[in-house]
Structure formats: structure tokens, C-alpha cells
Structure 1
Amino acid sequence: MHQVLFKRLPGNEDMQLPRKMSELAAGFDVHAAVDEPVTLSPGERKLIPTGFSMAMPAELEAQIRPRSGLAFKHGITCLNSPGTIDADYRGEVKVLLINLGQEPFTIERGERIAQMLFQVVPQIAISEVDQLPDTVRGAGGFGHTGT
């Protein structure tokens, strides 16, 4: 098991830390730590604070992803999704939301706005070569195997 340390930032003592909403949930729900309601007009994007920072082991990354209910019901989703939080980042976690719906959407303090998943990051060794091994696919790109 990996231990992740969370720190509530000043003025956010009332905020819930990320938490799983069911026993087998993959993601931890993240809450909006806005000081006052924030309205996203259709097509508008805003960076929403969460009120916490964290420290995780070097072998982990955190990914910020949309909540399916907000996306389906209101068209609210995360840009740059999944957004990566690196293990060495210690600033406040923020969520970049956009309103792809047709109506304004208001975000209230404490509202669940995204989910955060933790993933193990493999250690990779990069080697430069003059030629790559052949495969059946080769350089075939978009749509090369049919529709």
C-alpha cells in the first residue's frame, strides 16, 4: 500500500479531503474549495481550487478526471484530462473545469467536482537507436486497419 499525505490549506479546515464514495471506487472525489459560488457559462473554463496540497511516493502520479454525473447531467468536464499531478508537486491541487453544456452551471463550496486516481509510474530507460524493430503494423497510422 502507498501512503499519500494530505494537507488542508489555511481557510479550508471545513473542506473534506478526497475520499472514495464506495468501497470499490477507483477514484477519490475531489471537492471545490471556492470562497463564493462560481458560475461557469457555456463554453467557459475556470481553475477551481480544492483547498489541499499533497505529497505522494516517487513511484506514483495522481490523475484528475471528470465526474461522469456532472458531465452527463450538466456538460461539466475537466480540460487536459486526465490531468497529471507529479509526485514532486507540493502546491494546491486545482481542477480545470469547462462547461460544455447549454446552461450556466454554478459550483458551490464543498461540491464534488472531479475524481482523482493514483497510478504507479513505471521507471523507463530511453535508448536512441538507428533502426527500430519491424512489426506487422509498421508505420500505419490513423484508420489504417479499417473503419
Structure 2
Amino acid sequence: MKALIKIKWLDGADKDIALPKHETAQAAGADVRANFAPDQRVAGVTLDAGARALIPTGFAMEIPAGFEVQVRPRSGLALKHGISMVNTPGTIDADYRGPVGVLLINHGTEPFHIAHGERIAQLIVAPVVQGDYQLSDVLDETERGSGGFGSTGTI
């Protein structure tokens, strides 16, 4: 199943940087790359341990109604360097048309450098079902009931 996601380059974007792309035929996520402003391309951004930064992608999107785009961390960056996202998964709504940025955080112990053009996250297109929230005095009983975190056991 496919959904057409229109991409628009933002002013100052490096159009030689690849657009989001599925790297294999069965990949769920499309890799997205850092696309810094001209005055920041050479330097990139270095995230100190514990620091976070909004990394630009250089584009905006048009997502069809009934879909969202989830922004997720790259597992390789997480495993090797402790790089993740502050709000994972991030959601881009179908009615948003502004710049796409990735809010990265360094959970590692060493500074991590993000270079211009580096793959920083992945985008997942997903259908959206909106809930119809209704006040009720009674909720159906279940086996779990109101048991919260860890209430279903450890094994």
C-alpha cells in the first residue's frame, strides 16, 4: 500500500541531499537526512552528551488526509552512539505544511557530530483513525481492570 507524500524544498535547502527514501524494497521507514542552511553546512552540529537539537531536513510535506507521518529514531545511531529522539515517535499531521525537523538527543557519553547530509531518522507513513471521545459513568470490566504499569507480570 502506498500514499503519495508531496515534498517541497524550503528556501536555502541543499537540493543535492536525497529526499526521504526507503533503502530496501521491504523497508517500513524512509531515511531522512540532515539538510543544514548554507552557513551551517560545513560545521554541521555537535550534540554533547545529554544535549538535544532540532535538526533541519530542508523540506516541507503534504500528507494526504487520513494519514500521518511518524518520525522515528534510527536503530544504528541509537545502538552505536546513544542518539535518539526526544519525542519518539514524533507525529506530523496531515494538515501541517511547515518545515520538517528532527528533535535529536544524545543519550550517549561522548559528543556526537551530525554532518550535512547524514541520515538522522526515518519516516513511517501510517493511517489515522480518530477516536470519538464520549463521557461515560461506567466502563466495561476486563480481566486486567485498572492494573497499570507492570500489572500483567514479569514473565
- What's the TM-score once normalised by structure 1's chain length? 0.95
Match of 1:134 among 141, 144, 154: 141
Q: Which moved more, 1:119-128 or 1:24-33?
A: 119-128
Contact 2:5 2:61 in 1 (8 A): yes
CA RMSD in angstroms, aligned pairs only: 1.1
Q: Does 1:9 align with 2:30?
A: no
How far the C-alpha of 1:15 sits from its partner, in A, is 2.1
Give 1:1-147 correspondences, 5 Å limit. 1-12=2-13, 13-34=15-36, 35-36=40-41, 37-147=44-154
How far the C-alpha of 1:143 sits from its partner, in A, is 2.1
How far the C-alpha of 1:145 sits from its partner, in A, is 2.6
Q: 5+ residue gaps in structure 2?
A: none
Q: 5+ residue gaps in structure 1?
A: none
Please list the CA deviations of residues 77-134 of structure 1 after superposition, one character each: whole Å capped at 9, or x if unmatched.
1111000111111111000001111111111111000001011001322222221111
Query: Percent sequence identity over matched residues?
Result: 55
Distance 1:2 1:107 in 2: 30
Distance 1:79 1:109 in 2: 20
